[in-house]
Amino acid sequence: MSLPDLYLASSSPRRRELLAQIGINVVVLPQSVSEQYLSPETPSQYVQRLALGKAQAGLLTLPEAKLRPVLGADTAVVVDGEILGKPENKAVALAMLAQLSGRSHQVLSALAVVGKDILGQDRAEVRMSESRVYFRVIEAADRLAYWHTGEPKDKAGGYGIQGLAALFVERIEGSYSGVMGLPLFETGELLKPFGILPLAVSCVAELKK
Q: Which of the residues are catalytic?
A: 74
Spatial distance between the Cα atoms of 128 and 108, rounded to a whole number of angstroms: 7
User: What is the separation of C-alpha 130 from the centre of its chain, rounded to a whole number of angstroms?
Assistant: 12
Angle at 79 between CA 76 and CA 81, to 5 degrees: 85
Closest by alpha carbon to 161, among 180, 141, 182? Answer: 180
Dihedral angle of Cα 90, 96, 97, 100, to the nearest 10 degrees? 180
Please give the Cα distance from 168 to 8 (Å, whole number).
Answer: 30
Beta-carbon count within 10 A of 98 CB: 13
The CA distance from 11 to 31, in Å, is 8
d(CA 93, CA 147): 7
What is the dihedral sign for C-alpha 163, 169, 173, 179?
negative
Q: How wide is the angle at C-alpha 207 spanned by C-alphas 204 and 209, nearest 5°?
A: 115
